[in-house]
Amino acid sequence: MSKRKKKVYDDDDGRVISSMNVDGMPWYNEKKSLFGGPKKEKEQPNNELPLTKQETRAMMGGVFAAALLVAGVFALAALLFILFCVHVWLK
């Protein structure tokens, strides 16, 4: 097998106009910065605090209450729409 020759374009001067180094892409390189130089390594803070069972239950209760509030708002909107249709629109 022969190697392919790399195409040479007359108008290509090697500059990068827009970097395609984007988070989530398969070719993403963390060490390469957007402006060409090497990227500084970020120190990742360890913000994980162990929660007690009581704190975990309180957190899950808050999440559940928020979800019920959102579901209640949607249910109320659906009920009002049905009442509007029955008593005003389809009368």
pLDDT at 36 over 60: no
Query: What is this structure's pTM?
Result: 0.47
**pLDDT for the residue 90:** 84
pLDDT at 14 over 70: yes
Distances (CA, A) of 65 to 51, 58, 59: 20, 10, 10
Q: How many CB atoms within 10 Å of residue 25?
A: 9
Q: How far apart are CA 33 and CA 67, in angstroms?
A: 40
- Model confidence over 73-88: pLDDT tens digits? 999 999 999 999 999 9
**pLDDT for the residue 3:** 78
- Model confidence over 47-70: pLDDT tens digits? 778 889 999 999 999 999 999 999
